[in-house]
Structure 1
Amino acid sequence: MSTPRDTYRSPGSERLERMTLEPTADPDLGTVETFDVDPPYVPDHEALAAVEEFEERFLDRELSWLHFNQRVLELAESPSLPLLERVRFLAIFTSNLDEFFMVRVAGLKRRIAAGLAVRAASGLMPREVLELIWRTTRELSERHASVFSDQVVPALWKEGIELVRWDDLTATEQKHCKKLFKERVFPILTPLAVDPAHPFPYISGLSLNLAVLIRDPRTGKEHFARVKVPPNLTRFVPVGNDRFVPLEDIIGVHLKRLFPGMDVLEVHTFRVTRNEDVEVEEDDAENLLAALEKELLRRRFGPPVRLEVEESISDSVLELLVSELGISPSEVFRLPGPLDLRGLHAIADIDREELKYPTFLPTTHHRLADVESAAPVDVFKAARRRDILLHHPYDSFATSVQRFIEQAAADPHVLAIKQTLYRTSGDSPIIDALIDAAESGKQVLVLVEIKARFDEQANIRWARKLEQAGCHVVYGLIGLKTHCKLAMVVRDEGVYGGGIRRYTHIGTGNYNPKTSRLYEDYGLITTDEAIGEDVAHLFNNLSGWSRDASYEQLLVAPATVRTGIVEQIHAEIAHHQAGRPARIRIKANSVVDEGVIDALYLASQAGVPVELLVRGICALRPGVPGLSETIAVRSILGRFLEHSRLFWFANGGDPTAWIGSADLMHRNLDRRVEVLVRLPLADHILAIGELFDLSFEPSTSAWVLDSDGSWTRNGGDVDLQETLIEQQRRRRTVGA
């Protein structure tokens, strides 16, 4: 029987093949010399055993995620940030924590209930993790409420933005609210009483509710009732010039209208979080769309995992809620009101530009900007001249990737378009372009991932709309989510233009024009024949039956991403031992995979410098003597969501870099189709290296991970994202 240690052994470490790194030819830079690693570094059992001696070498992933959300909260606490941005980070914290309970806590509870309580890599049992989660989330929730009431609300008042409660309203404002209640709120409210004829109502997940205790004045008998706060109405109701009152306050003072003739004794807000993770048994589902739609209906009735109540709630009403919902006392969170601060997004959207980040407009990439003509640049012509490395949101998505797909749809020389869609916007011009292409007779293949968490309904709608337009729509491979970001255009350029040519886009982010303005991502538009051949094979593997799973310029999960990265790490060890330059730099949303982490520990023990830029979860412990002394881990959060996945290796003095969709997590490496592409051009590799240089400058503001799992701000005064914005402005000014 294998031991837990065996489980964490670096995959691929015992079956490395000889690595030959091919020369890279660049018409502008010439041929770059590469090194042949012969023999590669192959760790022996003794080296691996030295790593595995550190039994507590992995931080707990759930607690690490909570530390990430704590960093979001610290942004809300920061007086140096524009005030309305602090308000938005309070709303983001709420949404993040909601999803954590709906998915991660629900999953832990499900495993415990099913008797699958396997010890985590951190050494903790699920029950222990759950206890730590409840304690940590309670502390964070209370801190969040305190930041809102004690710091942000007073700061808003100083700026003339007032969040008030009902008793703070003037007589005129209360009269306005009474009229609003009568005309717009009262008609859609549904009071639900609880008595022998009316069972306790179902409380939908994340809904805001009023627990009402009423009494019949004739009999003196008390009754419980629930009133749901309508989610389709404005949560913070404007009552004057930048003055707002919570909707539940307006409903609460008018409950006599809902219960005429009854005495209203108590009114308390509460909120339930439920298990909303979707599970579909694909092997048993003839029609994946139908199976998923059925499961989405079931999601609404998932078991509760958290109960939030206003701290003023009476013990008797709380006992009733706990009993009826089947919640344990440890899952109850008593907090100051108002609950559910997701509604603060509306406050953050107030038209007060001086209280927000300075306006930022993405600029067209200099290779796609025609300074001599008002007409859009021909993306195909630009890509034929040279590969284009895009860095969003600094480089405009609309004038690069979106234009690439739109021009392909309109170009009569384009024969086919193939694309993956994981998440996209509700009014996506990408979808419209694909539909136009299909209707004009082009072959259009769209791989829609309808199991993208919390976007399932939207993706089902898009899948059907694309099918109706004549697109070939497929849903990937059974048992795997298709998370890679790929688009390929096949164009007939005639005998004198080179014949059939493939144009490929490979990115780190979704084909979503809206989030592309908020998410930091990289993308490569290339005509490289080897990359185009690889992507064509991959699309064939995804849409049909194919045994060809070998790729020249791609790493593709679940087959080769983990082993490929581990081999690159081992190559750096070999370079270091041979006295050549060696360094490992990785940027990811999460670093959890034990196999990759153990390989990084081996590199550190050999003396290789390792720099990790991790936005969210990091299970690696840096700075542990004898294990990870050369590893530094930073996290950067800001106005844009750091989302790109980058892998850079010094490679003996001839750096290589990969970009793609894969995070270093089990789900990405084992249960998803992910793609990393090796950048062909040396100056693009240099650009990735320069990003890491800037990110790890001592003066760059960041959180630094300590070996005990705590994150501390380093005191740097340089904002990475603002620096990149300024660099982009300078490039535009000089016309680079």
Structure 2
Amino acid sequence: MTRPAHIARLSDADDDDAATAHASDRYFNRELSWLAFNRRVLEEACNTAHPLLERLRFLSISGSNLDEFFMVRVAGLKGQQMQDVDRRSVDGLTAGQQLTAIVAEADALMESQQAVWGDLRRLLDAAGLFVLRRDAIDETAAIWLETYFRDQIFPILTPQALDPAHPFPFIPNKGLSVIFDLVRISDGEPIRELVMIPMAMARFIRLPGEPARYVSIEALLKRFSHLLFPGYVVNGAAAFRVLRDSDIEIEEEAEDLVRYFANAIKRRRRGRIIRMEVETGMPAALAAVLKEEIGRADTLTTESGNLLGIGDLDALVDEERPDLKFPPFTPRFPERIREFGGDCFAAISAKDIVVHHPYETFGVVLAFLKQAAADPDVVAIKQTLYRAGKQSAVINALIAAAEAGKSVTAVVELKARFDEEQNIVWASALERAGVQVVYGFIDWKTHAKVSMVVRRENGAFRTYCHFGTGNYHPVTAKIYTDISFFTADPRIGRDATQMFNYITGYVEPANMAVLSLAPRDLRRKLVDLIDAEIAHAREGRAGSIWCKVNSLVDPAIIEKLYEASSAGVEVDLIVRGICCLRPGVPGISDNIRVKSVVGRFLEHSRIWAFGNGRALPNDGAKLFISSADWMPRNFDRRVEYMLPILNSTVHDQILDQVMVANLIDNEQSWELASDGSYARVEPGDKPFNLHRYFMTNPSLSGRGAALATAQSVPTLSLRRGH
């Protein structure tokens, strides 16, 4: 069981502030809830059911996650504090109160990361994969490393003296450096030197041969400091790194978004330092220099063990040791498409199709777009792009379509955090090929994942659509669980057309048949659905809500769920990450249960179901997929979609397979208690791993007969007692 500093304690707030006390009784703090999620990720690094290098991968992910948390979330709170912004969190805390709690929990988390690294390092040694300490480098290894250092590292490094004639240099975001305390042998003159390690340089150097032996770049730097500083004695040396404010705020008066973001990215690299991490045992004199030169009164400084930048450990996971990794998994190509000889349009025309990633390949989405690009009957393609990755077949398909003379429109979101620069590159490439590139709204992010193809058939035009819960990103599609839905339903096609016109031309949609959009009406439609369940419960019928999202933060929706619980509606929530709702509080949320699934794949799909007054979930339940989480930004500041699943076969596949499997999983699940703690679910005598289930059973889009022969998911009423 994990019990992080997850709850806004009343002692942290103003005891006389009744509103704050009331808020903290009803909500968990957003930032502390995120830290609790990252601790669950870290706990997977301790899970002995995972192969050793996969455990190392989880440790690395927890480190990268924490870096981004400081660069964005903590930076935002620091900004509020510096500007005296009088804004309280949903649980009633000021920015300063949140920062106090966050720093304590983050420091504890970093301490745990170092402890886990120590444990894994010993296990890696036993498995024949070594990360050598300086004192463990034998003579043979030292000879090879010295040659490598002279030839491959020495020419790149630029030591800089720290004295009045040499101002302290700029340290880049996430930049790793080593500071040296030296004495000149000839006259005993003390001097301090700084060596910044270039960002492009490998963090770990692998020695040739077997067993696998690695040395960190900072250890190498210390080992061969005499080559860098001949004629000097090293009295002390220690590594440090900094994290900078990396958020980008949009100015309403920005006239050219591309130029604005290009300049903003450059400014971000020079953002104020939020956190400085120093190696444990750094000499006090060197620590004082860093504090004076780059630390500010508001800079958070922490000792981070003997390995800074835990996220960099992902480089070791690439080692060719299949015995220390998950068994390889090859996604299936949807059977429905195969039945039509690979013709995506023929298959979709026959019946709506659902595809479950990563168990079914993202290649089917690429096949859909490639076929559209090559098909002479396709006249137009419209596509949203939020995150597309660095090697994007999606971009290539759109370029090919434009070069083939088709009308191609791409809505490229420049505000996708940390992908802004790559998206500018893609936008330029698309425009050069003749694609009509649109950047959407200044104030809102376009987060909906929709592709639309217009095809000439039998003297008329027919629209084919793809709706995804995840990004058009071929790399993350291999590790994120998401839903792809293909349809040629003319109602949905007309709604999708209006959605694109809304984004590209600000044309307000009129008479949408099935699609709901944020920030236009999605929030209202969701509230209406919850109200309908409340009405069912109050009239004596079954009231049920089953929801799978990544985050639940929005106070108004949380209050509506509390109202539903009080009315007798049974609410089951699968919230992978942040959850501000308190489940199981007497008189408030007695009928609400919350669980989080953390495992081999990152749960990412958004699926919402409402019982519609029926006793069983597959007996008339209303089912939706969406691009949105239940957060204020998704409802109010992003273009998102919510799509009802009206095809009965697809409806049952998503609800009876995906949703049920998530609810009954007991090998990768954590339950959230009313006190804010998460406890790992005990499998008992009926273990069930949802990732393993979908990896070993036929695809959702397979034929009904194929599904009938699959290992069945146990029958579930999705009500209390599941």
TM-score by length of 1: 0.89
1:152 aligns with 2:120: yes
Match of 1:67 among 15, 32, 36: 36
Match of 1:711 among 678, 689, 706: 678
- Aligned pair in 2 of structure 1 residues 440, 54: CA closer, same or farther (>3 Å)? closer
**What is the correspondence of 1:209-288 to structure 2 with a 5 Å cutoff?**
209-239=177-207, 240-241=209-210, 242-281=212-251, 283-288=252-257
Opposite residue 386 of structure 2, the aligned amino acid is Y
Note the alpha carbon deviations across 1:423-466, whole angstroms, 9 max, x for none. Answer: 11222111111111101110000000011100111100000000
Aligned mates of 2:323, 2:86 — CA distance in 1:
52
Counterpart for residue 10 of structure 1: none
Shift of 1:234: 2.2
Counterpart for residue 407 of structure 1: 371
Match of 2:68 among 67, 88, 99: 99
Aligned mates of 2:201, 2:515 — CA distance in 1:
48
Counterpart for residue 453 of structure 2: 489
**What is the correspondence of 1:357-368 to structure 2 with a 5 Å cutoff?**
357-368=326-337
- The secondary structure found in structure 2 opposite 1:651 is coil
Note the alpha carbon deviations across 1:694-719, whole angstroms, 9 max, x for none. Answer: 22227454100011111110112422
Aligned mates of 1:579, 1:516 — CA distance in 2:
43
Note the alpha carbon deviations across 1:158-203, whole angstroms, 9 max, x for none. Answer: 2111111121011010000000000000000011211111111111
Shift of 1:669: 1.1
Match of 2:662 among 685, 692, 695: 695
Counterpart for residue 347 of structure 1: 316
- The secondary structure found in structure 2 opposite 1:728 is coil
Note the alpha carbon deviations across 1:379-415, whole angstroms, 9 max, x for none. Answer: 00000100001111111110x2111000000000000
- Aligned pair in 2 of structure 1 residues 438, 136: CA closer, same or farther (>3 Å)? same
**What is the correspondence of 1:166-565 to structure 2 with a 5 Å cutoff?**
166-239=134-207, 240-241=209-210, 242-281=212-251, 283-328=252-297, 331-370=300-339, 376-398=341-363, 400-495=364-459, 499-548=460-509, 550-565=511-526
Opposite residue 425 of structure 1, the aligned amino acid is G
Opposite residue 209 of structure 1, the aligned amino acid is S
Aligned mates of 1:207, 1:569 — CA distance in 2:
48
Aligned mates of 2:635, 2:704 — CA distance in 1:
42
**Which consecutive residues of structure 2, in runs of 5 or more, have no partner in the other structure?**
1-18, 615-619, 708-722
The RMSD of aligned alpha carbons is 1.9
Counterpart for residue 15 of structure 1: none
Aligned mates of 1:473, 1:329 — CA distance in 2:
42
> For the Cα contact (< 8 Å) 1:306–1:327, is it kept in 2?
no
- The secondary structure found in structure 2 opposite 1:245 is strand
Aligned mates of 1:231, 1:477 — CA distance in 2:
34
Aligned mates of 2:420, 2:490 — CA distance in 1:
35
> For the Cα contact (< 8 Å) 2:179–2:192, is it kept in 1?
yes
Note the alpha carbon deviations across 1:51-99, whole angstroms, 9 max, x for none. Answer: x977620100000000000000000011111111001011101100000
Aligned mates of 2:567, 2:23 — CA distance in 1:
16
Aligned mates of 2:23, 2:434 — CA distance in 1:
57
> For the Cα contact (< 8 Å) 2:542–2:569, is it kept in 1?
no
TM-score by length of 2: 0.91
- The secondary structure found in structure 2 opposite 1:155 is helix
Aligned mates of 2:254, 2:190 — CA distance in 1:
49
Shift of 1:643: 0.6
> Comparing 259-268 with 325-334, which one deviates more in the overlay?
325-334
- Aligned pair in 2 of structure 1 residues 663, 397: CA closer, same or farther (>3 Å)? same
1:111 aligns with 2:80: yes
> For the Cα contact (< 8 Å) 1:63–1:133, is it kept in 2?
yes
Counterpart for residue 57 of structure 2: 88
Aligned mates of 1:549, 1:285 — CA distance in 2:
29
Shift of 1:237: 1.1
Opposite residue 439 of structure 2, the aligned amino acid is Y
> For the Cα contact (< 8 Å) 1:307–1:327, is it kept in 2?
no
> For the Cα contact (< 8 Å) 1:394–1:728, is it kept in 2?
no
Counterpart for residue 636 of structure 2: 670
> Comparing 225-234 with 433-442, which one deviates more in the overlay?
225-234
Note the alpha carbon deviations across 1:85-114, whole angstroms, 9 max, x for none. Answer: 001011101100000000000000001111
- Aligned pair in 2 of structure 1 residues 215, 550: CA closer, same or farther (>3 Å)? farther
Opposite residue 515 of structure 1, the aligned amino acid is T
Counterpart for residue 578 of structure 2: 617
> Comparing 58-67 with 74-83, which one deviates more in the overlay?
74-83
> For the Cα contact (< 8 Å) 2:597–2:670, is it kept in 1?
yes
1:646 aligns with 2:607: yes
Aligned mates of 2:629, 2:352 — CA distance in 1:
24
- The secondary structure found in structure 1 opposite 2:664 is coil
Shift of 1:647: 0.7
Shift of 1:590: 0.4
- Aligned pair in 2 of structure 1 residues 117, 220: CA closer, same or farther (>3 Å)? farther
> For the Cα contact (< 8 Å) 1:59–1:122, is it kept in 2?
yes
Shift of 1:692: 2.6
Aligned mates of 1:337, 1:86 — CA distance in 2:
19
Shift of 1:345: 1.3
Aligned mates of 1:545, 1:65 — CA distance in 2:
35
Opposite residue 607 of structure 2, the aligned amino acid is L
> For the Cα contact (< 8 Å) 1:694–1:700, is it kept in 2?
no
- Aligned pair in 2 of structure 1 residues 549, 132: CA closer, same or farther (>3 Å)? farther
Counterpart for residue 726 of structure 1: 696
Q: How many residues align?
A: 676
> For the Cα contact (< 8 Å) 1:305–1:327, is it kept in 2?
no
- Aligned pair in 2 of structure 1 residues 698, 367: CA closer, same or farther (>3 Å)? closer
> Comparing 680-689 with 80-89, which one deviates more in the overlay?
680-689
Opposite residue 132 of structure 1, the aligned amino acid is A
Shift of 1:245: 1.1
- Aligned pair in 2 of structure 1 residues 629, 443: CA closer, same or farther (>3 Å)? same
> For the Cα contact (< 8 Å) 2:377–2:455, is it kept in 1?
yes
**Which consecutive residues of structure 1, in runs of 5 or more, have no partner in the other structure?**
1-49
Shift of 1:514: 1.6
> For the Cα contact (< 8 Å) 1:78–1:86, is it kept in 2?
yes
Counterpart for residue 544 of structure 2: 583
Aligned mates of 2:69, 2:24 — CA distance in 1:
27
> For the Cα contact (< 8 Å) 1:194–1:224, is it kept in 2?
yes
**What is the correspondence of 1:619-638 to structure 2 with a 5 Å cutoff?**
619-638=580-599
Opposite residue 410 of structure 1, the aligned amino acid is A
Note the alpha carbon deviations across 1:573-596, whole angstroms, 9 max, x for none. Answer: 111222333210111110000011
Counterpart for residue 31 of structure 1: none
- Aligned pair in 2 of structure 1 residues 669, 184: CA closer, same or farther (>3 Å)? same
> For the Cα contact (< 8 Å) 1:215–1:223, is it kept in 2?
yes
